[in-house]
């Protein structure tokens, strides 16, 4: 697995390292692992449009019947891949300040979207979600997991008095990612390190100004 | 045409009203208008995956050969539709304050993405852009046009002293849209009026704090 849920050489990058990253044994688990790795490769090479279950069976060296019985459709296979990506996702970085934590988060998203493999993978799963409700539900669960992993850095900033009480922690984390995904999927503007820094800085500044505090939503 | 580039009953909604909205006459222009309207309907009904030039010819009541000769591929037809959407796009609203202008912008994006027809259309053209380089280039030009239309509201706020000199006007406009597109395409969190207000408020607060000023990027 690569991307937002992983770093090269770290837990979750496919090497059998780290507690919680080893797949439970057994043939069923090995079959799933092989199919998901093949799906990831196929999505990176050719996108969701070209995803084909017979091709996945060939790439993973498992029976076509097994693949069809277990997943049924390309979208269901993508949904299972997203579940696995969420399960393998990395713990957040803690730097001790809100700006530092948000910069670490923005850096991870930036790295995920600009890496050729993980960038192509994320574009493919987002495309799958635009075409299929089950893939969309799995995509939303993946991001809910990632947002929940990072939101505590905002709660800690509230406790330290860096941002107002009642600040919506999840919304601050979404605000860091949003400008980067907007460039990636929508506007095509450069997705560089400056854009990542600016995303983190703007989310922090808006949070300090109380823009994500509940009192604003319900005055 | 519907969505971010138009309002019901306003210029650009398909009624032959308003300067700059009337298509030049002639058979070629009429053929293009019919094909683009058919493409829009087809994209809304079934998405980019299902877009088929023969079906467009039938829907538009024009020759299949004409459609194939003029556009060649579904992606090229989408690119031409995006060019037309940019040409028909609405002027910005001016309210006299940065917060008011950003709220108007957020409201327009919110309306575009939550309207069943224009929401489906935007999802389809963004999917097309994820699959095809020419469609992506056309999508990027469409958003560059929309961002350039709204950026002057930030320049006016700089002139009024509401935000620091050197604030990147385009980046403030992108910051208003980004959280809404993130919900729409990525996280699936509710895309409601509160989200639109929060997007406008956060972009304004970050701009006032200097988060989009050039001095931050090159300290």
Chains A & B: contacts with CB separation below 8 Å:
134
- The reply to whether residue B179 touches residue A175, judged by beta carbons under 8 angstroms, is yes
Q: How many Å apart are CA A58 and CA A60, to the nearest integer?
A: 6
Residue A49 sits at the chain B interface (C-beta within 8 Å): yes
Alpha carbon B172 to its chain's center: 16
Write b or e for each residue in B38-72: b if 16 or more Cβ atoms lie within 10 A of its Cβ, otherwise e: bbbebbbeebbbebebebbbebbebeeeebeebbe
Chain B interface, mutation test: which of A130, A134, A201, most B Cβ atoms within 10 Å? A130
Q: How confident is the model at residue B216 (pLDDT cuts 50, 70, 90)?
A: low
What does pTM read for this prediction?
0.88
Q: What is the pLDDT of residue A6?
A: 43
Q: Which residues of A touch B182 (CB under 8 A)?
A: 174, 177-178, 181-182
Chain B interface, mutation test: which of A131, A206, A208, most B Cβ atoms within 10 Å? A206
- The SS3 assignment for B63 reads coil
Q: Please report the ipTM that was assigned to this predicted complex.
A: 0.88
Q: How many Å apart are CA B165 and CA B157, to the nearest integer?
A: 10
* Domain over A26-74 is classified CATH 1.10.10.60: yes
Task: Provide mean pLDDT across the span B132-155.
Answer: 97
Which candidate, B171, B188, B196, B21, places its Cα nearest to that of B108? B196
Average pLDDT, chain A: 89
| Other CB atoms within 10 A of residue A160 CB | 11
Q: Return the structure tokens found at A74.
A: 């390309």
Specify the domain boundaries for CATH 1.10.357.10 within chain A.
89-208
Specify the domain boundaries for CATH 1.10.10.60 within chain B.
26-74
Q: Return the structure tokens found at A50.
A: 């070209």
Task: Provide mean pLDDT across the span A67-76.
Answer: 97
Task: List the 9-38 stretch of A: residues with Cβ below 8 A of B.
Answer: none
* Assigned fold of A89-208: Tetracycline Repressor; domain 2 (1.10.357)
Q: What is the pLDDT of residue B214?
A: 82
Q: How confident is the model at residue B21 (pLDDT cuts 50, 70, 90)?
A: very low
Residue A54 sits at the chain B interface (C-beta within 8 Å): no
Q: What is the pLDDT of residue B20?
A: 45
């Amino acid at each position: 697995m690569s991307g937002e849920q992983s770093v090269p050489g770290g837990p979750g990058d496919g090497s059998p390292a780290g507690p919680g990253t080893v797949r439970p044994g057994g043939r069923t688990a090995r079959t799933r692992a092989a199919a998901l790795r093949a799906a990831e490769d196929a999505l990176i090479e050719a996108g969701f449009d070209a995803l084909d279950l017979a091709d996945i069976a060939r790439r993973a060296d498992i029976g076509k019947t097994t693949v069809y019985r277990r997943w049924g459709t390309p979208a269901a296979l993508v949904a299972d891949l997203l579940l696995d990506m969420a399960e393998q996702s990395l713990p957040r970085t803690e730097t001790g300040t809100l700006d530092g934590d948000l910069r670490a988060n923005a850096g991870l998203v930036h790295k995920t979207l600009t890496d050729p493999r993980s960038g192509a993978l994320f574009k493919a799963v987002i495309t799958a979600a635009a075409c299929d409700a089950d893939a969309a539900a799995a995509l939303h669960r993946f991001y809910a997991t990632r947002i929940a992993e990072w939101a505590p850095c905002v709660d800690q900033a509230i406790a330290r008095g860096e941002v107002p009480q009642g600040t919506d922690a999840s919304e601050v984390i979404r605000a860091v990612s949003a400008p980067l995904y907007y460039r990636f999927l929508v506007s095509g503007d450069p997705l560089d390190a400056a854009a990542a820094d600016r995303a983190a800085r703007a989310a922090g500044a808006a949070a300090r100004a109380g823009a994500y505090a509940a009192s604003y939503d319900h005055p």
